Amino acid sequence: MAKASPKLTKCKIRLGKDLNWWVVETNDKINWDIDGLSVIDPRQAAHVLETLDGLREYGLEDAVVEKAFIPFSIESKGEKNEVKIVRSDDSVFDADDQQLFLLPDIVDDERSTYAEFLDHITKLQVKMLNDTFNFEKDVVIEDLEEEIRENYSNDYIEGRAIHVFHEVMDILEYVPDGYSLDEEEEAEESDEEEEYDIEDLPEEEENIEEDDTMHWDDEDEEDEDYADKPPFDEEDDSLDLDEDER
């Protein structure tokens, strides 16, 4: 467990050049090392929560998500893209509506709740992928973790911290090379369109009152009768006019 110290209630965060928010100060300096410590802003939180919804049918536990983050609301805005935030009693799932910042709860000597959250969504993401795609060989957790580590290798070498938002989304958006969740969703939508049965349309036609402008059939019949007549024959008696008629 964390060492005895004042409860973390306030932080100062700064918008970095990467357009992400990073912690620059806390009121609990004993337990919280601000080096590389980042927070998810309200816009990012909305995206994370929306993406997590896709894992509910595979066993997403709200309690694990709730415990993984500490919500903060804005207390005041300072200069140089700095903001003071204060701890909130609101739910993590209200981050978008309440404009909350989410700080990963990484303070635990043995096992942080944030680390448990990452393990939880990694397991569910792998389960979802194997259920969605017909792989020749099922994806395993080690495949996902190894690929993400390789993607982070340059950052580790150059001493760059991984922002918490990217750390979470890299798991939630992981798909093996050659596959795409977007294409799979489009295929499902196409299948739904093909399954649409025209027989579902109502058979009864609407009765529309006719007027003088709607006698198309009569006109067509007259045209057909005219087309069937032979050309005028000069010897036809019907065309012989007597001298009086001329």
What's the distance, Cα to Cα, between the start and end of the chain in Å? 124
Residue type for position 154:
N
Alpha carbons 122 and 170: distance in angstroms, whole number: 10
Asked whether 38 and 168 are in contact (CB, 8 A), the reply is no
Alpha carbons 34 and 108: distance in angstroms, whole number: 15
246 residues of the chain, pLDDT tens digit each = 344 445 899 999 999 999 999 999 999 988 899 999 999 999 999 999 999 999 999 999 999 999 999 999 999 998 889 999 999 999 999 999 999 999 999 987 568 999 999 999 999 999 999 999 888 889 899 999 999 998 888 777 877 899 999 999 999 999 988 778 775 555 445 444 444 343 443 454 555 555 555 555 555 555 555 445 554 444 444 444 444 444
150-185 per-residue burial string, b: 16 or more CB within 10 A, e: under 16: eeeeeeeeeeeeebbbbbbbebbebbeeeeeeeeee
> What's the gap between Cα 9 and its chain centre?
32
Find the length of the chain.
246
- The distance between the two most distant Cα atoms of the chain, rounded to a whole number of Å, is 132
